[in-house]
A = this chain, B = another copy of it.
Amino acid sequence: MTATGQEGHGRGPRGGTAPLRVDGERLLGRLAELAGVGATPDGGCARLALSDADRAGRDLVVGWMTALGLEVRVDEIGNVVASTPGVGAPVMMGSHIDTVTTGGRFDGNLGVLGGLEVIETLQDSGVTPPRPLAVAFFTDEEGSRFSPDMLGSLAYVGGIGVAEALAITDVGGASVGGELRRIGYAGPHPCPGPVPHAYVELHIEQGPVLEAEGVEIGVVEGVQGISWQEVRVEGQANHAGTTPMGMRHDAGYAAGAIATFVRRLALELGSPQVGTVGSLALEPGLVNVVARSARLTVDLRNTDELRLAEAERRLAAFLEQLARDEGVGVATRRLARFAPVAFDPGVIDLVERIARAQGRSTMRLPAGAGHDAQMLARVCPAGMIFVPSAGGISHSPLERTEPDALVAGANVLLEVVLALAAGELAAGAGGAGPAAGAAAGA
């Protein structure tokens, strides 16, 4: 395909037949260099939010931003936004550079360095989009050190007050505010931050779907709603040999029945409903004692709020019936609940159209994990681009995406950003302009 076959991205002096493409080697080189900060012996990364390693990573990325002549702003919660000059709200790219303690090299980093690469590619090409561009990294996306996760982007869109966010402490008692000051990232710019024209985040899938389906680019339709509950079952400890089956109040059986019900529930409701019992422990936990109590977790997710609420209702009804049938106490405690987020239809269409125009196979799918994009979606049209994760593995030193796939994702990001900057929002969904997109995202 040729550049003339592409729509809506700016043309600089080089304009003509050669499609604009990022410098893959430069992108991969930056990913490798950032991965060297906080590198673990097993090939992974450990840059917990606001740690010394995080500071070193931030310093490295800010250095690159500055070298490109970008205006770098650090806000009160430590979010860093680097912008090109220009008038009007920018098209923002970004993600995060903090990791979990057993993190990989691409989760978050790809969206930030991909955004940086898009800007440098345009600079190199002499292309000046009609709107400024920005690339951001948000504080504490992982939530591994400070809860909740996506803290920086949540504050950026006004979802949590700055004072409240700064007062959050880690298990050692260190506060977000204190650690920001310690590492030199307590910035002067206010939070909530300026509303972007649109936001696009390139990210690894962190799931196995794209690889399994042999698809190159994931068109992310939204982020799953999440319902986490802890279930406690109180039964009666008894001798496993001498207690007839009909006289048992067996917390171990009840826990097993819940785990099998959660599987059945997910299958009955059908994709994209998923359900997981990932943690399950029995007391006293002896081979020859009917369990007195069980504690387990249930993770339910759906992209549709009504379906997710239906899954919760069915689980509650099952637990009530189980308590009656087995003669056990069952109590639940909510650990987390997030409603699903739907990304902007215009951005979704744009990602799909451009990826296909670049010759990539695509599929629409939801994000199963949380991302900064879901926070930005509260204030502007937002979307995400996924590239495959080998084996679906993430939050692990084994996290891996093929170099070609990383670069392919950045090239989709490049043209999506250019189209958004050119005002081509929701064009694929009937020609509506940026205003419609902004309304959809509000």
Contacts and interface: CB of A to CB of B under 8 A. Distances in A.
A239 B391 CA distance: 11
A369 B280 CA distance: 28
Contacts of A282: 278-281
Contacts of A242: 205-209, 367-369, 392, 394
A351 interface: no
Number of this chain's copies in the assembly equals 2
Interface stretch (A83-91, A124-132, A247-255): A247-255
Interface stretch (A154-162, A285-293, A407-415): A285-293
Nearest to A246: B271
Interface in A250-282: 250, 252-253, 255-260, 262-263, 266-267, 271-282
A274 B282 CA distance: 19
B280 A212 contact: no
Nearest to A294: B280
A240 interface: yes
A108 to B, nearest CB: 15
A297 interface: yes
A269 to B, nearest CB: 10
B274 A278 contact: no
User: Chain A at the B interface: mostly helix, strand, loop or mixed?
Assistant: mixed
A299 interface: yes
Contacts of A241: 207, 224, 226, 274, 299, 301, 367-369
B301 A240 contact: yes
Contacts of A285: 278-281
A325 to B, nearest CB: 11
The interface centre, meaning the residue of A240, A271, A335 with most chain B CB atoms within 10 A of its CB, is A240
Interface string A110-144: 00000000000000000000000000000000000
A171 interface: no
A288 B144 CA distance: 13
A276 B288 contact: yes
A51 interface: no
A149 B111 CA distance: 62
A240 B278 contact: yes
Nearest to A226: B241
A254 to B, nearest CB: 9
B280 A286 contact: no
Contacts of A13: none
A289 B281 contact: no
A2 interface: no
A146 interface: no
Contacts of A209: 242, 244, 247
A147 interface: no
A339 to B, nearest CB: 14
A148 to B, nearest CB: 13
Contacts of A276: 240, 250, 252, 287-290
Contacts of A244: 207-209, 271-272, 274
Contact of A238 (B247, B272, B392): B392
A279 B274 contact: no
Given A278-B289, A299-B288, A394-B239, A245 B260 contact: no
A243 interface: yes
Given A239-B207, A299-B240, A392-B242, A291 B278 contact: yes
B206 A392 contact: no
A185 interface: no
A206 B290 contact: no
Contacts of A272: 244
Contact of A278 (B258, B288, B395): B288
The 4 closest A-B pairs by CB, nearest first: A256-B259, A207-B242, A241-B368, A242-B368
16 contacts: A207-B242, A228-B288, A239-B394, A240-B274, A241-B369, A245-B263, A245-B266, A250-B263, A252-B280, A256-B256, A257-B259, A278-B282, A278-B288, A278-B289, A280-B281, A280-B282
